[in-house]
Amino acid sequence: MKLHASDSFELRGVLPASAVWAFGWGAMLALDGRLDLANIAMVLVLASALATLWLPISLSLLLTALSVAAFNWLFVPPRHTFAVDLRQDALLLAAMLGVSWIVAGVVTRQRMLASRARHHARQAEQLRSLTEALRDADDPLQRGGLLRDALAEVLGQAPKLLLLRDTMPSSDQPSAVVVIGDPDDHERSGLWHCMRQGHAFGPGTGRHADLPEWYLPLRGRGSAFGAAFVRLNLAERADDALRTQAQALCDQMGLVLQRALHARAASVAREQAQAQGVRNALLAAISHDYRTPLATIMGAASSLVEQGERLSVEQRRHRAQTIVDESVQLSRLTDNTLQLARLDAPGVQLQLDWESAEEIVGAVLRRVRSRDVQHRVHARLEPGLPLVRCDALLLTQMLENLVDNALKYSAAPAPVEIVVRRQAGCVVLAVRDRGSGVAAAWRERIFDAFQRGERCGAGLDDQARRGAGVGLAVCRAVARAHGGELKLRPRAHGGSSFECWLPEQAPPPCADAEGGIAQPAESRP
């Protein structure tokens, strides 16, 4: 259905108009002889006025003139002639014709105004519904179909559309736009040109008026964000109202696209600002973490340099040991920081292999042994654990961090346990301590790189608690990089259990190569 207005003759108006005239004439014939001429004439004027409601003005005027002539023929003496005897009858006929024509004119004009108002209302309604539909769309780029449908409703045919994805590219890259309606190469370049210029082309636009088509830009503020192409028939070429409406719809889309573009730009900027903020906080936290061991090293080393002569052998040895210990601390901090940066980078590649949890735990025990003089760390592994698809170095680093943490946050001689078990389709690597636990408010924040559980763990000196921040953040990053998660679970009788849940994967086929690999059970005594 075409929406564009037509006040032209409509067939369905003929029926009621004919009925009115038929009824009018019936009444006049019936009243002939009972009422005087002037009264019967009123019936004709009434019928004429009523019929005008449905008929176009030309037909109304014609029918009224014919009716007045017929009235003259039938009722005005001398009857059955067009001659008029009395002057007053002549006046009557003239008044009938005049009044009827004026009424027809007024009614038609009224009808035209009403129809135009309806038309405007329909156009406004269409614009409004398009705007609303677009506003509800998350990504207006995906909703080009809405504009196409709206334009099709106006124009009677589907237009071809070009929608700009992002900012205007320097060349006409197909990847920079969404195309709807499959335009040919000529139309496509026309659409690009129209979008770049931000002007409409075609009949009535003042540009390329000889074209048999319109190129309408999807204008936002300042520039266009797409273009529409529509082929025209002869009548439509001159229809300014049609073009105005189509352009309004196009501009609506242009504004929405522009708004979406701005929103995206704003959100990117916001994310960047946020990332910058996180980075700054991280850098501040890391420098703080570095400063403490550095201060200790500085103190011990400068004491050796400046007081070396006056220190006892034992004191000198103690200073040197301090330097070694703190250097190890710094080195681990560096490892963690680098690892965090690496895991945070997009598209990080892990060195995945089938690893044995037992071996990883063994390597961790060996590494932490030097920091665990009281032998507090123990491992407990469920028998028959499957191989885990993981990056062994990363998991080792994660467990080492967790064990270091557990040693730091719980006082000797409370044990620290590494427990590996299967649960709910996962391999769970847990590090459990009997420390003071983590306050509920800190259970999530403790994994942020620049948070430390300063307020939980009273009773431990600040020295013992430093450096957990980056460490736990790395641990969580490691777990997540493996498609798993690191969780903190408070233990029933005090202490924490840090649990890394890794989804279990189907183990590799253990094909027996002729090199002598055999079923593992074969060699069991």
Partner 1 sequence: MSLRVLLVEDDRELRMMLRDALAVEGYEVHTAASLSEGLALLGGLAARSGRSADTGTDLVLLDLGLPDGDGEALLAALRQRHAIPLIVISAREGDGQKIHLLDAGADDYLVKPFSIGELLARMRVALRHRGTAVAPAVTTYQRGPLSIDLAAHEVRLHGAAVHLTPTEFKLLARLVRTAGQVVTHRQLLADVWGPECTEQTHYLRLYMAQLRAKLESDPADPQLLLTEPGVGYRLAD
Enter the DSSP assignment of 165. -
Q: In the complex with partner 1, which residue's Cβ is closer, 70 or 320?
A: 320
Q: Does 508 bind partner 1 (CB under 8 A)?
A: yes
Between residue 224 and residue 283, which ones bind partner 1 under the rule CB under 8 A? none
Chain Cα centroid distance, residue 383: 49
Enter the DSSP assignment of 424. T
Q: Which two tokens stand for residue 162?
A: 């070009």
CB of residue 369 vs partner 1: minimum separation in angstroms?
9
Q: How far, in Å, CA of 10 to CA of 13, rounded?
A: 6
CB of residue 178 vs partner 1: minimum separation in angstroms?
42
Q: How far, in Å, CA of 27 to CA of 218, rounded?
A: 60
> Segment contacting partner 1 (CB under 8 A): 65-73, 187-195, 357-365, 432-440?
357-365
24 contacts 52 by C-beta, under 8 angstroms? no
Among positions 343, 392, 411, 464, the unique one binding partner 1 when judged by CB under 8 A: 392
Q: How far, in Å, CA of 290 to CA of 295, rounded?
A: 9
Q: Does 335 bind partner 1 (CB under 8 A)?
A: yes
- How many residues bind partner 1 (CB under 8 A)? The answer is 39
Q: Which two tokens stand for residue 47?
A: 């019928």
Q: In the complex with partner 1, which residue's Cβ is closer, 166 or 382?
A: 382
Q: Does 358 bind partner 1 (CB under 8 A)?
A: yes
Q: Does 382 bind partner 1 (CB under 8 A)?
A: no
CB of residue 324 vs partner 1: minimum separation in angstroms?
7
Enter the DSSP assignment of 506. P
Is the peptide bond between 293 and the residue preceding it cis, with omega within 30 degrees of 0?
Answer: no
What SS3 state is found at 379? strand
> Segment contacting partner 1 (CB under 8 A): 105-113, 151-159, 234-242, 346-354?
346-354
Q: Does 343 bind partner 1 (CB under 8 A)?
A: no
Among positions 313, 373, 424, 513, the unique one binding partner 1 when judged by CB under 8 A: 513
Q: Which residue, 430, 437, 479, 431, is CA-closest to 456?
A: 437
Among positions 131, 356, 451, 505, the unique one binding partner 1 when judged by CB under 8 A: 356
Residues whose CB is less than 8 angstroms from the CB of residue 203 and which lie 6 or more positions away in sequence, other chains included: 209, 210, 211, 212, 214, 232, 237, 238
Q: Does 327 bind partner 1 (CB under 8 A)?
A: yes
Q: In the complex with partner 1, which residue's Cβ is closer, 271 or 353?
A: 353
CB of residue 428 vs partner 1: minimum separation in angstroms?
16
Q: Does 384 bind partner 1 (CB under 8 A)?
A: no
Residues whose CB is less than 8 angstroms from the CB of residue 120 and which lie 6 or more positions away in sequence, other chains included: none
Q: How far, in Å, CA of 466 to CA of 99, rounded?
A: 102
Q: How far, in Å, CA of 6 to CA of 236, rounded?
A: 12
Q: Does 500 bind partner 1 (CB under 8 A)?
A: no
Q: How far, in Å, CA of 430 to CA of 419, rounded?
A: 5
> Segment contacting partner 1 (CB under 8 A): 224-232, 309-317, 362-370, 481-489?
362-370
CB of residue 134 vs partner 1: minimum separation in angstroms?
50
Residues that bind partner 1 (CB under 8 A): 324, 327, 331, 335, 351, 353-356, 358-363, 365-366, 379-381, 387, 391-393, 395-396, 507-508, 510, 513, 515-518, 520, 522-525
